[in-house]
Structure 1
Amino acid sequence: MPYSVYIVQCSDGTYYTGIATDLERRLNEHNHSAKGARYTRARRPVTLVYTERHPDRSSAQKREYVIKQMPRSKKSALIGKS
């Protein structure tokens, strides 16, 4: 089952990175549900700014970790907002 690694921009301008098998459902959870991440629940609405597809959960989690370790400037460059 393919996974998406995604970055959303929160209403306060911060970035949140995660993984999902159903990106549309996950974005809906971030914006409208108690199932959204605690971080994004307090910073709604969120807007999808970047996605990558990965063939399995393991590779998606590894990439998510790499992105989460990046400074904001590198994340901005990744999404094309440099």
Structure 2
Amino acid sequence: MSMNIDSEHPHFYHLKAIEEMVQRGTDLTTQLLGFARFGRYNVKPADLNEVIMKGSSMFGRTKKEIKIHTEFQQDTWTQQRWTEDT
């Protein structure tokens, strides 16, 4: 849907946020279903600052009454995370 509107459109950023949330939900569902099926997994690097930033950003948009303050450590180690082998 956002592909059809210009980035100057007032709803563009809301649509982008919705797309990101849908993608994160899709990824989470895939991981949960893979775990439930005892699927095969790959280990991929994940930046914990990025994981926390995206999660808190998504949560902050849905719960406006909650203020989220973040303070990230610079140059953190990249952690390994499990992903379904596709």
> Same-fold call, TM > 0.5?
no
**Structure richer in strand, relative to its length:** 1
**Structure richer in helix, relative to its length:** 2
Q: Report the TM-score when normalising by structure 1.
A: 0.22
Q: Report the TM-score when normalising by structure 2.
A: 0.22
